[in-house]
Amino acid sequence: MSKAAHQEPLVVFSPSGKRGRFARGTTVLAAARSLGVDLDSVCGGRAICGRCQVQVVDGELAKHGIVSRAGSVSAEGPSEVRLKTRAKISAERRLGCQAQVLADVAIDVPADSQVHHQVVRKPFEAHDIDINPVIRAFFVEVARPDMQDPSGDLQRLLAALAAEWQLKGLSVSLSALQGLQRTLREGDWRVTVAVREERDIIAVWPGFRDRLYGVAVDVGSTTIAAHLCNLTSGEVVASAGRMNPQIRFGEDLMSRVSYIMMNPGGEAELTRVVRGAISELVAEAAAQAGIVAADVLEMTVVGNPIMHHLVLGLNPVELGTAPFALASDAAISIPAASLGIGINAGASVYALPCIAGHVGADAAGVLLAEAPWERDEISLIVDVGTNAELILGNRSRLLAASSPTGPAFEGAQISAGQRAAPGAIERIRIDRKTLEPRFKIIGCELWSDDPDFAKKMPACGVTGICGSGIIEAIAELFLSGIILADGTIPAAMAERSSRVISEDRTFAYLLHAGPPELRIRQNDVRAIQLAKAALYAGAKLLMDRFGVARVDRIRLAGAFGAHIDVQYAMALGMILHELITNAAKYGSLSDASGRVQVTFARVADGGTPRLRIVWDEHGGPEVRRPEREGFGSLLIAQSVKAELQGELTLEWRREGLRCVIEFPHIDESTPLQDMDHAPAPPATDEAPRPHAVA
């Protein structure tokens, strides 16, 4: 590239992560369209529709090597001033069609300016628990005021609670007290009182109310999810999710810490935007359930240590360098009003404790849900995200570690990558003989080789590849022989398929001819290799420290675990080979969705011993099924190759919702030490409860 080209300003877009250099005077909208950034506009850049709103990031961004300021784009024009006067644009935003690039700049595209709203998929996972809510509702009848009794309304309420429910020594929140007199009279002196920990009155409603609500919030580096719960029944009644708006300050944790270090007071801005996003998510979930945010009486928050600190308003810079000291590793309970989060004024926010360093409150939440300390067998629990957290152990000992996998698993740092949104490729299969691909995109249930695919897909068409799609793409390329074990595409593959294209000194695989053209490039493979290597290293280090070569149980948690097939994680080596063979011995391995159960057992068929491997699939119409012999056969061969001698002969068939693979020539002399103790496959089509259930 010429020196002149290098002098052109660099434009970095979030949350897509796409970037490029453009001539000075180029509008932000034109730059976005050139890079394929999702930025809405229907008026042809005439500043009429107001849909192309963007926000200029202010500060030094070390990761990109730029300083972004309001002056990095042209000043507001008459059209923008007019729209702001009419309150169609907020003060901090600009119109992409009017703002011209003058210098290096970081541009954030808000969710309401995107045509294809991103799909944040962080489903909740139900576990059997004892319901013991921190807040309970008490219905009482309060004595009316009387000229002969000068006591206040609060004192008579407290007397009624003591007489009817034996609740004594209660305090009352200011917000509850401020509305108490009106509430008592609206309810004709019959009210429902919300009491926290049998100690604090936090809300009072007229009449009888038997439903109280709380919300659980998972603040991730990339996504935030909120799950609204009925505190009485434990039922999750609504869920909402969105991208973490902090992405515009840095895609990964260290980039955000760097932003704070290089921009004094930057932590306040990161705290402000994440608290705002949480409040908006709670309001969205409440609306789904037919209530208002003020009905939410309790919030539980988890996140990695840096997210945990920023939500609480704590400066996380000490976590940017060794020894990675936490401000506090204890659980914290504080009034929601002090954080400015929009729920009931008397509500509290409870933040789970961080474990240490970069193993945060989210890992503590997974630990509580999975309870590995109640088991004799050794469990490996992996919460995969931008920052992976791993827990290994059993009832005798638990170890934890974090591993910086980066945003590649989320579709970032990938040439055709994007966040999960309609049009993003999420499922991929490659024919083993022709090397031709077929795929599914978000927003369409049909595969691309279906005759009706073009009619049924979203209006946006195919737009890119999301995280689960890039994982499956690279796994399929490997299983098809296009990619070698070292991650390279050999030149000989170009002779077999026109989809293998030369790119300077490397080769790429043409996944979609376009528009837009989507290729899997060498750098994409390297990004996934680096991410999975970090995950592999973290697991291996924990196992070495624990003193074990194998584990008995594997659990993939988090959004990644819920949306990637465990078989593909196996194929890519994201789960250690030692773990795969051991799962075969102990009888079970499952993904976080709980939809696919892999069972290994010896069976006798006509007196001939066989090794049978069964995928038991359950969970409704969204089940992802192994589709052909080649994929399952290769995985099973990888799984048992360390234990078998000689060549593998296998048979493959389907039995209802089961994919069955059998090795008919394995007899009792085959060295599978623990197979005789593994559970046999079920006799009916009813799927068994997996050992590792989501």
Which of 206, 229, 244 is a domain's end point?
206
Binning pLDDT at 50, 70 and 90, where does residue 248 land? confident
Decide if 124 is inside a domain.
no
| pLDDT of res. 48 | 85
Decide if 235 is inside a domain.
yes
Q: Residue 300: which H helix or E strand, with range? A: strand 296-303
- In order, the DSSP letters of 361-410 are HHHHHHHHHH-GGG-SS-EEEEE-SSSEEEEEEETTEEEEEEE---GGGG
Q: Look at residue 142 and tell me whether its pLDDT is greater than 70.
A: yes
The answer to whether residues 542 and 650 belong to one domain is no
The answer to whether residues 30 and 59 belong to one domain is yes
| pLDDT of res. 563 | 67
Q: Please compute the mean of the pLDDT values over residues 77-83 and round it to a whole number.
A: 88
Q: How many CB atoms neighbour CB 147 within 10 A?
A: 5
Instruction: For residue 113, give the DSSP letter.
Output: G
Q: Residue 537: which H helix or E strand, with range? A: helix 522-546
| pLDDT of res. 677 | 31
| pLDDT of res. 485 | 82
Angle at 459 between CA 458 and CA 462, to 5 degrees: 65
The answer to whether residues 202 and 241 belong to one domain is no
| Separation CA 567–CA 551 (nearest Å) | 17
| pLDDT of res. 103 | 95
Q: Please compute the mean of the pLDDT values over residues 284-289 and round it to a whole number.
A: 94
Decide if 479 is inside a domain.
yes
Task: Copy the structure tokens of residue 35.
Answer: 């890079």
The answer to whether residues 177 and 283 belong to one domain is no
| Separation CA 589–CA 192 (nearest Å) | 48
Binning pLDDT at 50, 70 and 90, where does residue 150 land? confident
Q: Please compute the mean of the pLDDT values over residues 156-169 and round it to a whole number.
A: 94
Give bridge partners of residue 419 from the DSSP assignment: none
R_g of the chain computed on alpha carbons: 28
Phi, psi of 268 (to 5 degrees): -65, -40
The answer to whether residues 168 and 261 belong to one domain is no
More confident site: 6 or 573: 573
3-state secondary structure at position 13: strand
Which of 314, 337, 370 is a domain's end point?
370
Which class for 505: exposed (0-12), middle (13-18), buried (19 or more C-beta within 10 A)?
exposed
| Separation CA 694–CA 692 (nearest Å) | 7
Binning pLDDT at 50, 70 and 90, where does residue 40 land? confident
The answer to whether residues 546 and 592 belong to one domain is no
| Separation CA 473–CA 475 (nearest Å) | 6
| Separation CA 208–CA 141 (nearest Å) | 10
Decide if 27 is inside a domain.
yes
* pLDDT tens figures, 416-459: 887 777 888 988 999 988 999 999 998 899 999 999 999 998 87
Determine which of 100-114, 348-362, 678-692 has the lowest per-residue pLDDT on average.
678-692
Provide the mean pLDDT of the chain: 79
Residue 613 in contact with residue 603, Cβ under 8 Å? no
Decide if 357 is inside a domain.
yes
C-alpha closest to that of 632 among 648, 613, 608, 617: 613
| pLDDT of res. 648 | 37
Residue 444 in contact with residue 457, Cβ under 8 Å? yes
The answer to whether residues 566 and 580 belong to one domain is no
| Separation CA 315–CA 331 (nearest Å) | 17
The answer to whether residues 539 and 582 belong to one domain is no
Where residue 611 sits, what CATH number does that domain have?
A: 3.40.1720
Question: Computed from CA positions of residues 202, 208, 210, 213, in that sequence, does the dihedral angle turn out positive or negative?
Answer: negative
Q: What is the largest CA-CA distance in the chain?
A: 101
According to DSSP, the β-strands at 589-590 and 596-605 are: antiparallel
C-alpha closest to that of 423 among 390, 388, 464: 464
Residue given tokens 């997210």 in the structure block: 307
| pLDDT of res. 590 | 39
Determine which of 148-162, 177-191, 207-221, 456-470 has the lowest per-residue pLDDT on average.
456-470
Question: Computed from CA positions of residues 557, 561, 565, 566, in that sequence, does the dihedral angle turn out positive or negative?
Answer: negative
* pLDDT tens figures, 229-239: 999 888 899 99
| Separation CA 532–CA 494 (nearest Å) | 27
Task: Copy the structure tokens of residue 172.
Answer: 């009352």
| pLDDT of res. 652 | 41
| pLDDT of res. 682 | 32
Query: How many structural domains compose the chain?
Result: 5
The answer to whether residues 171 and 241 belong to one domain is no
Q: Look at residue 98 and tell me whether its pLDDT is greater than 70.
A: yes
Where residue 289 sits, what CATH number does that domain have?
A: 3.30.420.480
Give bridge partners of residue 214 from the DSSP assignment: 229, 298
Residue 612 in contact with residue 662, Cβ under 8 Å? yes
Decide if 127 is inside a domain.
no
Domain range spanning residue 49?
A: 3-113
Name every residue whose Cβ is closer than 8 Å to that of residue 427 and which is 6 or more positions away in sequence: 439, 440, 447, 468, 469, 472, 624
Angle at 603 between CA 602 and CA 604, to 5 degrees: 135
Q: Please compute the mean of the pLDDT values over residues 316-337 and round it to a whole number.
A: 92
Which class for 186: exposed (0-12), middle (13-18), buried (19 or more C-beta within 10 A)?
middle
Residue 360 in contact with residue 536, Cβ under 8 Å? no
Task: Copy the structure tokens of residue 252.
Answer: 């990964």
Q: Please compute the mean of the pLDDT values over residues 157-164 and round it to a whole number.
A: 94
Where residue 98 sits, what CATH number does that domain have?
A: 3.10.20.30
The answer to whether residues 480 and 621 belong to one domain is no
Q: Look at residue 678 and tell me whether its pLDDT is greater than 70.
A: no
Determine which of 263-277, 301-315, 498-512, 672-686 has the lowest per-residue pLDDT on average.
672-686
C-alpha closest to that of 12 among 45, 71, 61: 61
Decide if 230 is inside a domain.
yes
* pLDDT tens figures, 460-505: 788 888 888 888 899 889 888 899 888 899 999 999 999 999 998 8
More confident site: 494 or 148: 494
Give bridge partners of residue 609 from the DSSP assignment: 604
Binning pLDDT at 50, 70 and 90, where does residue 36 land? confident
| Separation CA 478–CA 483 (nearest Å) | 5
| pLDDT of res. 581 | 39
The answer to whether residues 397 and 481 belong to one domain is yes
The most confident of the ranges 401-405, 409-413, 521-525 is 521-525
Phi, psi of 230 (to 5 degrees): -80, 115
* pLDDT tens figures, 205-214: 999 998 999 9
* pLDDT tens figures, 622-674: 223 333 333 343 444 444 433 333 333 444 444 443 444 444 444 444 443 33
Which of 570, 598, 617 is a domain's end point?
570
| pLDDT of res. 18 | 78
Decide if 10 is inside a domain.
yes
Binning pLDDT at 50, 70 and 90, where does residue 691 land? very low
Residue given tokens 């795969």 in the structure block: 580
Determine which of 183-192, 264-273, 291-300, 594-603 has the lowest per-residue pLDDT on average.
594-603
Residue 204 in contact with residue 175, Cβ under 8 Å? no
Q: Please compute the mean of the pLDDT values over residues 156-180 and round it to a whole number.
A: 94
3-state secondary structure at position 676: helix
Residue 569 in contact with residue 672, Cβ under 8 Å? no
Determine which of 82-91, 116-125, 268-277, 607-616 has the lowest per-residue pLDDT on average.
607-616
The answer to whether residues 294 and 181 belong to one domain is no
